[in-house]
Amino acid sequence: MRRLVLGLVLALFATAHGLALQWPLESRDPAQSQDPDFATSVKEWTTKPEFLSPLVDHLPVVPGVPMPKDVIGHHIGEPKKLTYYADMLRYYRALDAASDRVTIESIGMTDEGREMIVVYISDAADIANLKTHVEGYKKLADPRNLSDADVRQVIATTKPMYQLMGGLHSGETGPSEMLMELAYRLAVETSPLINDIRENLIVAITPAADADGRDRYVDWYYRHLIDIEDESDRITGPPYWGKYVFHDNNRDINFSQVSMRNLLDWYMRTKPPIMHDLHESIPFLYTYSGAAPQNPNLDPILFAELPMFANFEMAQLTKYGMPGVWTHGFMDGWSPGYLGSMAYNHNGLMRMYETFNNGGATTMKRNLGGRGGSQITREWYRPLPPYEEDMWSMRNNTNYMQTAVLSGLQYAASFPKVVLENFYKKTMNSIEGGKTTAPHAFIIPGGQKDQTRVALLVNLLRLQGIEVGLADKPVKIKDTEYPAGSYVIKRDQPYGRLAKILLEKQDYPDPNLRTYDDSGWTMGHMLHTDVVAVDDSSILDVPVTLIDVAEAKGRVAGRGGAGLAVAHYGSNNMITLRYRLGSAGVKTAEAAFKAGGLDFPAGSFVIPADGNDLAKARAAVEALGLTAVALDAMPDVAMHDADLPRIAMFSTWTSTQEVGWVRHAFDKFEIPFDLIYKEQVRQGNLRSKYDVLVIPSQGGSGRAFVQGYQGPDKPIAYTKTDRFKFLGEYGSSDDIRGGIGLEGVLELERFVQAGGVLITLGAASYLPAEFSLAPHVTATRQSNQFYAPRPIVNAEITRPEHPIFYGYDKTTVPTKYTNGPLLSVPDAQKSLVLAQYPGGDSNVLSGLLRGANELRNRAAIVDTPNGDGRVLIYATNPVYRWQNHGEFNMLFNALVNWNDMN
């Protein structure tokens, strides 16, 4: 009845405006007054009529409730306007204060001290009742103690939460703008469409997932990008988004970054059934549907739900006449390491868009045929392709993304019970799958010498809500007995699916299929920690005590007063201990010895009582989870002083992300260093300031370091000013153009000749090979057929006595393969090679490597003495995304033994 009256009113309204039909009939409430200024502005900023939809061509005016313009001074999508994070928060707070349909939760602080929030929007009664709905999601996320009647009751009384996230990638500026207008529209509009959404869903909004990067990018936009109106004049983005990483905040599989961790913690507290991550790249709007290869552990229901939503959105926007909305042919469903993967890894639904944008709010002519034309063809998954070229504006971006999001919400609001049923069913499937399908559990056997990596592994699983049990008695499965103290991860639990995803070997289904990101991530390999899959279902009945966190308890045995010996069992905390002891006279044993009944491998620290505070050392050992013995007498082995080097880490101005991961690891393990750039290298005199210079993976050729960023004909400053206070962070430059130059290469050579240690990692290792800093080493590239989306491969340690391998007790070890150069060394210099790749398919441990024979006997790490110093060249990337902890020591050992590698 209500609908009929509404329809009549709408028909009258339409006639009055001279239109044949105001459609869709659901998109406006004729009783609600609309802002004429908004309608006029949006029409003007939209570059073609078909780039606008009836869902977003109007904005209601509601006295007492601020629209974005009332707080931030402009309508969303105005050319050359971007909003700083603090202004976004001001807007959301004002909206919250004015509307009982909105509430805000604070979810933690960023690295740089910005407050992260989630904004909830629904009917007033449900906002008041938010906790009850969240309790409902939690019940469905772990229904083990619910009866069928309970489940029915929860589904009948709970509204699904649909979370939307913008600004994970700071250069993708549109979503964070659009979300403010969406929040307002959802809070105030009384059209049938929006009423339905409010009545059936709770919408949650994360305004900018990388809030630090948002402000830095907006500063950069206003300083350098705003007046660039020609696509071919575009320049690089700011040297940094957040503190450490750029796009890789969406590859942080272990949630190491503070903001990503805050979002995970919020997820684990809230369990929204749908998370929708809003990105920007390709034209005009791509909606994710989970193309092949699909991770087989993810629920088949997921891959049916994804196209269900995507097809509905594509159909709606196509119906509104908006070209260029498509699905399927861009992004697959293999890696579980994207930020939004937290939703489908936990039995929910992750959704994702890519909307077209210009890297800011400046309207620009964009050529799309230039992308090989591959995204402008008509296909079954792209019925109305984007145009070959067009003027594109921020408002176009807002129109597309908001219309699609509203359509996604419309769909979810039409089937709220289905959303919840699916969430429940996927959870049940995960639990049942653990009972019916091997492996039924994973065991981390007790008694592993380095308990710090065991604890890290367990705690990374716990972070994601995976239940881990501790066995206080030996666990016997058929003929194998695991000692007391083993950890057991049973798969008949809600997140048994995720445990399998993270712990098993990644068996890539088809070598002909490409994948968007990593193909292999098996955690036991990455942490060099034993993990055993158990196929016998009797493991499910083994009694264990579920633990909250694992603690690596350090221990100090013996009562001797001669000193303290600290065993190097491969813990990355060894270097932290060394730095915590500061100027103390710590020695490194060059050979294995026994003391107090324990084996001390080469590389163990010996801290003599003479001149040291042993009580402090003891406390540090215990706090860091290490193993030590108080010595009756000093061991009778060769030792050298574990001198602490003065460290510099080099970064180019335009490739700071891999450097960021190494910076992050150094900060976490308390390794001090100076971050230096081309300016400091060109100044020279490096040896007087530093002992070790680390160049993390970047560049991809020697020339890239020498030439640097070529850029436009005017200086590009990255400096802090009164106007641009978020620039000049983590380094500062009056002009980021150019590289270290040939004179910089000479300075590096002088540094090495004078006794410095130059360390290059991954792609940076082309530099010493191509510019004769390591005369015997050549670096070449893989063939065009070679394809290695970062699998895990074996490396053979050929010089196990070398100090960089202190703490490694095997000579064949898993390494992350990150496409560093193919290194060669002449036969006469083979002794320089510390590790090599055996190559071949049999040495691919997890994930995909096409062309594994190209690696056969290629050097993986080379130590090249040069003058009084040396160059350590890694084709590997020993510090990759807080992931390959088992390799970190191959770098850390080089630091602690920098002047003892002869």
Which stretches of the chain bind Zn ion, using CB under 5 A? Answer: 169, 172, 279
Which one, 288 or 817, has the nearer CB to Zn ion?
A: 288
What contacts 140, CB < 8 A, 6 or more positions away?
151, 154, 155, 158, 271, 273, 420, 423, 424, 427
Which one, 101 or 279, has the nearer CB to Zn ion?
A: 279
Please report how close the Cβ of residue 307 comes to Zn ion at its closest, in angstroms: 21
The continuous run of DSSP H or E covering 658 comes out as helix 657-668
Helices (H), 355-437: 394-414, 416-436
Please report how close the Cβ of residue 279 comes to Zn ion at its closest, in angstroms: 3
Query: 10 Å Cβ neighbour count for 230?
Result: 8
Helices (H), 511-613: 523-527, 573-580
Tokens 């619910």 locate to 146
Which one, 221 or 766, has the nearer CB to Zn ion?
A: 221
Which one, 246 or 424, has the nearer CB to Zn ion?
A: 246
Please report how close the Cβ of residue 281 comes to Zn ion at its closest, in angstroms: 7
Which one, 92 or 246, has the nearer CB to Zn ion?
A: 246
Please report how close the Cβ of residue 274 comes to Zn ion at its closest, in angstroms: 19
Please report how close the Cβ of residue 589 comes to Zn ion at its closest, in angstroms: 48
- Please spell the DSSP secondary structure of 299-347, one letter per residue: -HHHHHHHHHHHHHHHHHHHHTT---EEESSS-EE--S-STTHHHHHTT
Which one, 165 or 671, has the nearer CB to Zn ion?
A: 165
Which one, 72 or 209, has the nearer CB to Zn ion?
A: 209
Please report how close the Cβ of residue 408 comes to Zn ion at its closest, in angstroms: 18
Output the six-digit token pair for 840.
């071949």
Output the six-digit token pair for 871.
């160059």
Query: 10 Å Cβ neighbour count for 549?
Result: 10
- Please spell the DSSP secondary structure of 846-900, one letter per residue: ES--BTGGGGTTEEEEEEEEETTEEEEEESS-SS-TTT-HHHHHHHHHHHHTTT-
Exposed/middle/buried for residue 380 (C-beta within 10 Å: 0-12, 13-18, 19+)? exposed
Query: 10 Å Cβ neighbour count for 838?
Result: 17
Please report how close the Cβ of residue 156 comes to Zn ion at its closest, in angstroms: 38
Output the six-digit token pair for 407.
């359509």
Please report how close the Cβ of residue 170 comes to Zn ion at its closest, in angstroms: 9
Contact between residue 85 and residue 208 where contact means Cβ atoms under 8 Å apart: yes
Q: Which amino acid is at 301?
A: I
Which one, 251 or 328, has the nearer CB to Zn ion?
A: 251
Which one, 518 or 747, has the nearer CB to Zn ion?
A: 518
Which one, 279 or 382, has the nearer CB to Zn ion?
A: 279
Which one, 58 or 169, has the nearer CB to Zn ion?
A: 169
> Residue 349: beta bridge partners?
274
Which one, 492 or 517, has the nearer CB to Zn ion?
A: 517
Q: Is beta strand 858-866 parallel, antiparallel or unpaired with respect to 869-874?
A: antiparallel
Please report how close the Cβ of residue 308 comes to Zn ion at its closest, in angstroms: 23
d(Cα 289, Cα 278) in Å, to the nearest integer? 14
Task: Kindly list the distances between the CA atom of residue 287 and the CA atoms of 33, 256, 738, 841, in Å, as whole numbers in the listed order.
Answer: 32, 28, 39, 35
d(Cα 311, Cα 328) in Å, to the nearest integer? 10
Output the six-digit token pair for 884.
């390959």
Q: 435-439 contacts: CB < 8 A, separation 24 or more?
A: 435/491, 435/492, 435/537, 435/540, 437/491, 438/533, 438/535, 438/537, 439/491, 439/500, 439/504, 439/533, 439/534, 439/535
